[in-house]
Amino acid sequence: MKNILTILKKEFARFFKDRRMVLSIFLPGIMIFLVYTLMGTIMEKVNKVDENQKYTACVDENMPDVLSDQLSLILDIKEYESIDTAKADVAEGKLDLVILFPQNFMQAIENGASPDIQIYFNSAEDNSANGYGLVCGILETFKQAYAQPVFTINNDVLGDLAEERATVGKVLSMIMPMLMFSLLASGCIAVAPEAIAGEKERGTLSTVLITPIKRWQLAFGKIISLACFATLSGISSFIGLILSLPKLMNGVVSGDTAAYYSVGDYFMLLALIVSVVLVIISAFSIVSAYAKSVKEASSLIAPLMIVIILLGLFSMFTSTPELGLYAIPLLGSGFAFSSIMTFTISPIGFVLSIISNLVVAALLIVALSFMFKSERIMFNK
């Protein structure tokens, strides 16, 4: 028993005296706590629902009085001279809903018929989709008052008026941020640990450090070269995603997905990818410079990779972010990815997301150059 206690004491002493090992154990929990707290705060602010919000709708004159009071609580009814014009506005996102009741709706129910209510909406617009869900809920509650189903909704028509272009944008806006952040982080983690920690471990970095090269030049050269490799990986993954989307959506997308976006859109995506890679590779390089070995660098980078993926995931749940959120490094880039995919990108938001990434990357490069000057860090003293 005494020998076992001696071994335990030795191992505990070794662990708690090594700050790197302590950091590798507690860093993931700390980072996840901070990121989830930030995400929860922002999500509460961005996705706060206005209880007084009403959805714009065109409702025909056949709406029964028994439903009029309930529907008027959530609908702002607009007058249209033509139903076709109203449906066109729904397709363009200018109107949320078009609701058509059959003639003599209540009489048909009383006679045992099953009239069909036609509701036209746009699934690519959040307000339209949410309004459609609320209206269907009210109608379903009304139906429960009867012993058997007494009417149908969109039995003979396709109510979704969203264009294929808008549908593609909506799908891509949901998956693009998290997917791109994951792929870019994977590309960075494949090269960052070996580039600095690997050279420290092999002893080749010390040879470079004794040359007349300035430390900021070494840091900048490392970051740019590694960023090029990770960017190529990210671009390749993006191209594969765009080309595979028609198959991925099982026939919902029939055309050439890539053709929906302009040359300017692709240049903006490229700029975002490059700026995001610069931030990620700079952060990973700092961790790699701090670590003693490739194995230690990989273990310390893992929590950061989780945080990056979570930031991309958060962008999926926020369709209309405030302009100031674009200025948050990486998180703003996730919003910009989504906005480009839905053709709603704000020029100011795009510029803010790029600038914030470049500023952070520059600060990280400066920090890395100072680390290269530290003998304690570089030579593990």
Q: What is the arithmetic mean of pLDDT over 134-148?
A: 80
Residue ranges of domains in the chain, CATH in brackets: 55-162 (3.40.190), 165-378 (no CATH)
pLDDT band for position 351 (50/70/90)?
very high
What are the tens digits of pLDDT across the range 210-235? 777 787 788 888 888 888 877 787 77
| Residue 146: Cβ-neighbour burial (10 angstroms; 0-12, 13-18, 19+) | exposed
pLDDT at 352: 94
Tell me: pLDDT of 259 over 80. no
Residue-averaged pLDDT of the chain: 79
Return the pLDDT at 265.
Answer: 85
Whether 285 has a pLDDT exceeding 60, the answer reads yes
Three-state DSSP class for residue 112: coil
Q: Indicate whether 39 pLDDT > 80.
A: no
Contacts 24+ apart (CB under 8 A), 348-356: 348/323, 349/321, 349/323, 350/268, 350/272, 350/326, 352/323, 352/326, 352/327, 353/272, 353/275, 353/326, 353/327, 354/271, 354/272, 354/275, 355/327, 356/326, 356/327, 356/328, 356/329, 356/332
Lowest mean pLDDT among 24-38, 142-156, 212-226, 354-368: 24-38
The per-residue pLDDT for range 313-324, each reduced to its tens digit, is 777 766 677 888
Mean pLDDT across 21-33: 63
Label residue 357 by pLDDT band (50, 70, 90): very high
